[in-house]
Amino acid sequence: MVSEFKQLTEVWPSISMVLHPPHNEKDLNELVELCDYLIDQTGGDEEHSLMELLDIVGTLIENYESQHIPEPQGDAIGCLKYLMQEHGLKQKDLTELGSPGVISEILSEKRELNKRQIKALSERFNCSPAIFI
């Protein structure tokens, strides 16, 4: 194990330029870029050797966002519209809510979100389901 630690300490200066807790938006964007690259490399294969690194990068991103990016506050549909805007989504992109007619009724507040839809939205936006209630 000592030899592995020695190898790590030798390469760490170059690795630490990319892999470190983000301190600002620039650092965060670099980690997100690394995360996207790792997702492409792993192709969703849970056994891929880079999955642990992807997990570490995801945890760093999640920690920064939970401390520095507040979850939207307000009514459920207002929060949904805010998240759609932040993620560059259009009504047609919310297929997990149902048909285009159902999505339209939800966004115009003629229909309330059900439990399944709330769960799907919280998973999609990686946020608490409470913001959609």
Write the DSSP string, 96-107.
Answer: GG-SHHHHHHHH
Q: C-alpha 107: how far from its chain's center?
A: 23
Host domain of residue 16: 2-68
- The alpha carbons of the chain give a radius of gyration, in whole angstroms, of 19
Domain end (from 68, 101, 121) = 68
Residue type (1 letter), 132: F
CATH number of the structural domain spanning residue 115: 1.10.260.40
- Do 31 and 64 lie in one domain? The reply is yes
pLDDT tens column, 108-130: 999 999 999 999 999 999 888 88
pLDDT tens column, 48-65: 999 999 999 999 998 998
Mean pLDDT calculated for residue range 92-119: 93
Rounded to whole angstroms, the Cα distance separating 99 from 105 reads: 10
- Do 54 and 108 lie in one domain? The reply is no
pLDDT score at 83? 92
Domain end (from 68, 92, 119) = 68
**Which pair of structure tokens corresponds to residue 120?**
């799907």
Q: How many domains does the chain have?
A: 2
